[in-house]
Amino acid sequence: MTLSRPQRTSGRISLVPLIDVLFILLVYFMVTSVYLDLDMIPVSQKVDLPATDTQTGAIGDVTRVLLRISSDGTVSLRGQRLSEGNLAAAILPLAARVPPPQILILPSGAAPLFALTEVLDALASVGLTNTRIIRIEGSP
């Protein structure tokens, strides 16, 4: 009598641990991700650079002011580059306005983080707290 051995089945790779790990990663990235605030700039209002009176240097009737931070860390307000020393002096007249304008900060994609923190520190030192950091989304 011949006894036949049962054939060994090849080991299967179970996908259950992989699915568990992927689910944990999905939850982690959902919790730690930053959600885009879609109402940063209302669609009904345009953001314009403020008009400047040539004789007095006073800023026109503006509710929003745009500060740009370039890739080398320089800050520009109304097209004029500002250095670290005159940043607070340049935004001080904005703090004196009633009501103070909203400050929109637009850093370039390669702007250094220290430049952004210096701008935020300068704004806080003169009392401007209504600020928003904005970014321009690229088109798909």
- DSSP sequence for the chain: -PPPPPPPPPPPPPSHHHHHHHHHHHHHHHHHSPPP-TTSS-TTS---PPPB-TTT--B-S-SEEEEEE-TTS-EEETTEEE-HHHHHHHHHHHHTSSSPPEEEEEE-TT--HHHHHHHHHHHHHHT---EEE--PPPP-
Highest mean pLDDT among 3-7, 34-38, 53-57: 3-7
**pLDDT recorded at residue 27:** 92
The answer to whether position 121 is within a domain reads yes
- How many domains does the chain fold into? 1
Q: What is the pLDDT of residues 102-132, one digit of tens each?
A: 888 988 888 888 888 888 888 888 888 888 8
Q: What domain range is 78 assigned to?
A: 68-133
User: Is residue 62 in a domain?
Assistant: no
Residue 43 lies in a domain: no
Is residue 41 one of the residues assigned to a domain?
no
Note the pTM of the prediction, 2 decimals: 0.52
Query: In this predicted structure, what is the pLDDT of residue 53?
Result: 46
